[in-house]
Amino acid sequence: MNDSEKRGLTKFVHMGCATCHNGVVIGGNSYKKIGVVEPYETKDMGRFEITGIETDKKVFKVPSLRNITKTGPYFHDGSVGNTR
Ligand code: HEC
């Protein structure tokens, strides 16, 4: 791991990203609500559409961040980084 990668990892951990994006593929272990810090506009109600449980509204699977630079576009609706 080079210095830039080390700085990035430190930031990732300190900012709390690893609370959700963790484990072997840096994600894939849990479902979390999106739009907690800033509202996220989406018609997709996430897990709620399958479970019908009120608290599952806007809850999505935490995606793996493995090879993240190559796996865009991002988020369940592909709304970010659609450069292809
Ligand atoms: C509370 C849990 C949580 C935290 C903390 C969190 N994330 Fe996420 N992250 C998610 C969820 C859930 C999604 C999927 C959202 C969706 O599909 O719309 C996601 C999606 C992403 C994606 C898009 C991945 C893809 O393939 O679409 C990236 C990149 C990302 N997060 C990076 C970060 C970074 C960097 C941090 C720290 C600054 C962070 N996350 C903190 C839960 C979290």
What pLDDT score does 27 carry? 95
Closest CA to 37 of 56, 22, 17, 51: 17
Interval 29-59: pLDDT, tens:
999 999 988 999 999 999 999 999 999 999 9
In whole numbers, what is the pLDDT of the chain averaged over residues? 94
Please, what's the largest Cα pairwise distance for the chain? 46
Instruction: Please choose from 7, 17, 33, 79 the residue to mutate so as to test ligand 1's pocket, defined by most ligand atoms within 8 A of CB.
Output: 17
Closest CA to 71 of 59, 56, 83, 62: 83
Average pLDDT of the segment spanning 48-75: 96
What pLDDT score does 37 carry? 87
What pLDDT score does 84 carry? 56
> Which ligand 1 atom minimizes the distance to the CA of 12?
37
pLDDT at 4 over 60: yes
